Amino acid sequence: MPTALITGASSGLGAEFARQLARKGADLVLVARDRDALDRLADEVRARSGVAVEVLPADLTLPAELASVVERVADPEHPVDLLVNNAGFGLPLDFARNDIEDEVRHLALHVEVPMRLTHAAVHAMLERKGGRIINVASVAGFIPRSTYGACKGWLISFSRWANGQYASKGVTVTAVCPGFTHTNFHERMGVAPGKEGVPAWMWLDAKAVVSEGLRDASRGKGVSVPSLRYRTLVGLTRLVPAGLSSKVGERGR
């Protein structure tokens, strides 16, 4: 069976990636800080899909714990065939008022962590002449949206380049770029459901986002933007003035 390692797997899109990949027959390595939440998800997935599930608790902002996950990704005795870099968190858009140490952790988790894990995965996958990497980015990467948009913009650009560089050698890299999606992401920022300042039509379903992202990754796409409405919005951002794009980026929290 192929093995998929998923970061940020305890909830939201990470948990949905785990469920859908398990239904496709993949064994799983689940990574997140919350051991109890990982154990609950592992029990659920084993019961429903009968796959093997390894739980690997880690705070990826701590160097020693990140190193343990890098080591697992690179392990030649237990190869990882699909890496899903999904771990992340949000901050208020007011950079000037945010605590700078929070911003530094935010940068590390969204840029340094996927870079290190991708580096380990690509090295191992090239030796095996096959593998797949999914980097969960955001449509925020296409518009000015404080440091979150900047981090996701880096991840999109990096994934597009890496896919072009390594796809011919059997290793594909896909940036999956959802828009606003119904998960607990905003609640963890302290924003109550329904108070995000985003109209209902802009919300996506997590199952559909993951399904479309996996489909595009299987086709070897460098960038995947789930849903026609967001592909249209991303296309429009290339045509509108920078000032208007900035206004769009201020929507929601």
Q: What is the DSSP annotation of 28-95?
A: EEEEES-HHHHHHHHHHHHHHH---EEEEE--TTSHHHHHHHHHHHH-SSS--SEEEE-------S-T
For the segment 142-175, what is each residue's pLDDT rounded down to a tens digit? Answer: 998 899 999 999 999 999 999 999 999 999 999 9
Query: What pLDDT sits at residue 249?
Result: 46
Superfamily in which the 3-249 domain is placed by CATH: NAD(P)-binding Rossmann-like Domain (3.40.50.720)
- Give tens-digit pLDDT for 88-132: 999 999 999 999 999 999 999 999 999 999 999 999 999 999 999
Question: Percentage of residues in the chain with pLDDT exceeding 90?
Answer: 78
pLDDT at 1 over 90: no
User: Could you read off the pLDDT of 50-96 as tens digits, one per residue?
Assistant: 999 999 999 999 999 999 999 999 999 999 999 999 999 999 999 99
Q: Which residues are catalytic?
A: 148
- Which tens digit of pLDDT belongs to each residue from 3-37? 999 999 999 999 999 999 999 999 999 999 999 99
| Closest residue by Cα to residue 59 from 99, 19, 13, 10 | 10
